[in-house]
Structure 1
Amino acid sequence: MVRRQSSSMISAGGKDRLVTTSPVADTDTKVGVSTHALLAFAGGYLDAFTYIGHGHVFANAMTGNVILLAIDLVTVAWQDAGRHFLVLVMFLLGIPAARLMQHEYIATAVRLPEAAVLVLEIAILMCLSFSTSYGASLGISMAIAFAASLQVATFRQVNKQSYSSTFTTGNLHTMVRSWLAWLVTGRAAEDLQQAKVFAQICAMFFLGAVLGAFSTPRFHNHALWGECFFLLVVLVRVVLVRSKYLAS
Structure 2
Amino acid sequence: MSESMALGIVLTLAGGFQDAYSYNCRGAVFANAQTGNIVLLGQNLANGNWQRALHYLFPLIAFISGVYITEWVREFYKNYKKVHWRQIILIIEIVMLFIAGLLPQSLNTLSNVLMSFACAMQVNSFRKFKGIPCATTMCIGNMRSATEMLCKYHITKNPEMKKKSLHYYFIILIFGIGAALGSIFTNQIGNHAIWISAFLMFIGFIMMFVK
Q: Give 1:123's aligned residue.
A: 95
Q: CA RMSD in A?
A: 1.6
Taking the aligned partners of 1:174 and 1:37, their CA distance within structure 2 comes to 18
Q: Give 2:5's aligned residue.
A: 33
Is it true that 1:203 corresponds to 2:166 in the alignment?
A: no
- Structure 1 runs of 4+ aligned residues shifted over 6 Å read none
| Mapping of residues 1-248 of structure 1, within 5 Å | 28-29=2-3, 32-103=4-75, 105-109=76-80, 111-131=83-103, 133-134=104-105, 137-186=108-157, 188-241=158-211
Structure 1 unmatched ranges of 5 or more: 1-26, 242-248
Structure 2 unmatched ranges of 5 or more: none
| Matched-pair identity in % | 25
Q: Give the 3 Å change call, closer, same or farther, for CA 135–214 of structure 1 in structure 2.
A: farther
Question: Would you say how many aligned residue pairs link Structure 1 and Structure 2?
Answer: 210
Which amino acid counterpart does residue 169 of structure 1 have in structure 2?
Answer: I
Which amino acid counterpart does residue 224 of structure 1 have in structure 2?
Answer: I
Please state how far the C-alpha of 1:128 moved relative to its aligned partner: 2.4
- Which structure has greater strand proportion? 1
Instruction: Report the TM-score when normalising by structure 1.
Output: 0.80
Taking the aligned partners of 1:225 and 1:58, their CA distance within structure 2 comes to 17
Q: Once the two structures are superposed, what CA deviation does each residue of 1:89-144 show, in whole Å capped at 9, x if it has no partner?
A: 001000011111111x432347511000001111111222233x037711101111
- Which structure has greater helix proportion? 2
Taking the aligned partners of 2:194 and 2:105, their CA distance within structure 1 comes to 12
Please state how far the C-alpha of 1:40 moved relative to its aligned partner: 1.4
Q: Once the two structures are superposed, what CA deviation does each residue of 1:121-171 show, in whole Å capped at 9, x if it has no partner?
A: 11111222233x037711101111111111011001123232211110000
Residues 120-129 or 202-211, more deviating: 120-129
Q: Give the 3 Å change call, closer, same or farther, for CA 171–136 of structure 1 in structure 2.
A: farther
8 Å CA contact 2:70, 2:89 repeated in 1: yes
Q: Give the 3 Å change call, closer, same or farther, for CA 90–201 of structure 1 in structure 2.
A: same
Which amino acid counterpart does residue 180 of structure 2 have in structure 1?
Answer: V
Taking the aligned partners of 1:34 and 1:107, their CA distance within structure 2 comes to 22
